[in-house]
Amino acid sequence: MRNLKSILFNRISMWLMKMAMCLKNANSVRNATCNIRYSSELPSQGWLQDKARNYVVFRKYKMYYAVIMAGGSGTRLWPLSRQNNPKQALKLIGDKTMFQYAVERISSIFPYERILVVTIPQHAEILQEQYPEIPTENFILEPEGRGTASAIGLVSIHLLQRDPNACMVILTADHFITKVNHFCDVLEIAEKVACNGKLVTLGIQPSTPSTGFGYIQQGQKFNDLNGLSIYEIEQFFEKPDLNKAQYMLKSGGFSWNSGMFVWKASIILREFEHQMPGFYAQLMQVKMALGTSKYKMVLNHIWPLIEKNTIDYGIMEKAENAVVIPVDIGWTDIGSWGSLDKLLPADQDRNIFIGSHVSIDTKNTLALGSKRLIATMGVEDLVIIDTDDVVMVCSREREQDVKALVELLKKENQLQYI
């Protein structure tokens, strides 16, 4: 029986390879073979053709892995986002969760076995249930969140053990991207740059003078590939005030820092060794335990001792081999209630109502509930979130500060609400 399965697998593989070659030479699908996207964009020639195309791309990028960061608790989206039901597991837009969107948009490049998820134990089960196709061993669990630097370091040692030539893209589960096809094109180009030893960050071409994002100043042009310009990084800037943000938007040459990166696992680990030697030494202790019965014990011992740090501050701001690719991919960071304004339909008074509601003389208000009626009158610039056990009301201008309510609840030991 095993031999029969092996023979069938080999024959199917050979057939797919032949089909891929035929597709490559066929004028009607010549461009489709290297740019696999949603089926609505391709000639409709059946399921087998789609499988053949995916085979071409998956083979082409067989050392390319996607890492989805999904360990955050999303406190600025409280009270809907909770410790036992974080924002990446919520259906905030449409009929899919943020995590499901994150996996779906990259599935034309990365098969499930090359998608890794970094999260914490409390979130692992709910995310695995949402995408059971991703192998269980691809969920890399931090005992607790210690910042993006530690999360990236941990997944890097796992990947390096699996594939010494691994190149990876770092993504997050709380982004929403509308230009999915162009985004996938960008990832393919970024992989080429990263395989030549560069630390690649994706910058977002700014559309407004936002004070909610960090900025990247572009330096000298490094290269042009397939219509995308690649620049050396001149400087990183923390979230600016409004005047500085307006200057950056007007002067050009600045991008929003998206938190998406592409690099080889070996290269980023070398940067950890040079720039964060203390953390690197701790990471190597964990690496030595990989694949042994002592791994969890060593990880649980080391991780609370690690200093919290971000990859931007720990590595990228001082890296000499970092480049930025400014892109327009229809990107939104779902970091606060206000971020939904770009993605959900509003009425003529700029109100967004989700759930049962009535309103009189209400303007620029977001009201979200699932069970009870929300009634508003004579108010404006509010965020109203109604859940089973909490009603949260705040002004629009304070929506970035919602996490302060979570901290207050912790201080008052009302943990059942977080």
- The Cα–Cα gap between 52 and 70 comes to 31
CA 2 to chain centre: 40
pLDDT value, residue 292: 95
Distance CA 42, CA 30 (A): 11
- Counting Cα atoms < 13 Å in the Cβ hemisphere of 76 gives 16
Looking at residue 207, its pLDDT comes to 87
In one-letter notation, the amino acid at residue 176 is: F
* CB-CB contact of 61 with 189 (8 Å): no
Q: What is the DSSP string of 161-224?
A: HH-TT-EEEEEETTEEES-HHHHHHHHHHHHHHHTTT-EEEEEEPPSS--SSS-EEEEEEEEEE
Cis amide linkage into residue 79, ω under 30° from 0: yes
pLDDT at position 10? 53
- Give the model's pLDDT for residue 35: 34
Instruction: Give the per-residue pLDDT at 370.
Output: 84
The two three-digit tokens of residue 302, written as one number:
């080391």
d(CA 317, CA 329): 24
92 burial type by CB count under 10 A (0-12 exposed, 13-18 middle, 19+ buried):
buried
Distance of CA 58 to the CA centre of its chain: 20
Give the pLDDT confidence score for residue 2 in this predicted structure: 45
pLDDT of residue 74: 82
CA distance 356 to 215: 39
pLDDT tens string 222-281 = 988 888 999 999 999 988 888 999 998 988 899 999 999 999 999 999 999 999 999 999
Q: Choose among 276, 272, 254: nearest CA to 263.
A: 272
- Residue 206: exposure state from Cβ atoms within 10 A (0-12, 13-18, ≥19): middle
Note the Cα 231 to chain centre separation in Å.
22
- The angle, 0 to 180 degrees and rounded to 10, between the axes of the packed helices 148-162 and 265-275 is 130
Q: What angle (nearest 5°) sits at the alpha carbon of residue 109, between those of residues 103 and 110? A: 55
Instruction: Classify domain 64-335 by CATH architecture.
Output: Alpha-Beta Complex (3.90)
- Compute CA distances 188 → 41, 169, 327, whole Å: 18, 10, 13
Query: Which residues neighbour 45 within 8 Å (Cβ) at sequence distance 6 or greater?
Result: 29
From CA 311, how far away is CA 307, in angstroms rounded? 12
Predicted local distance difference test score (pLDDT) of residue 61:
59
pLDDT at 7: 47
CB 149 within 8 A of CB 273: no
Low-confidence residues in the chain, pLDDT < 70: 1-62
- 99-102 contacts, C-beta under 8 A, 24 or more apart: 99/68, 99/70, 99/127, 99/130, 99/131, 99/173, 100/130, 100/131, 101/176, 102/68, 102/70, 102/171, 102/172, 102/173, 102/175
Please state the domain extents for the chain. 2-60, 64-335, 338-401
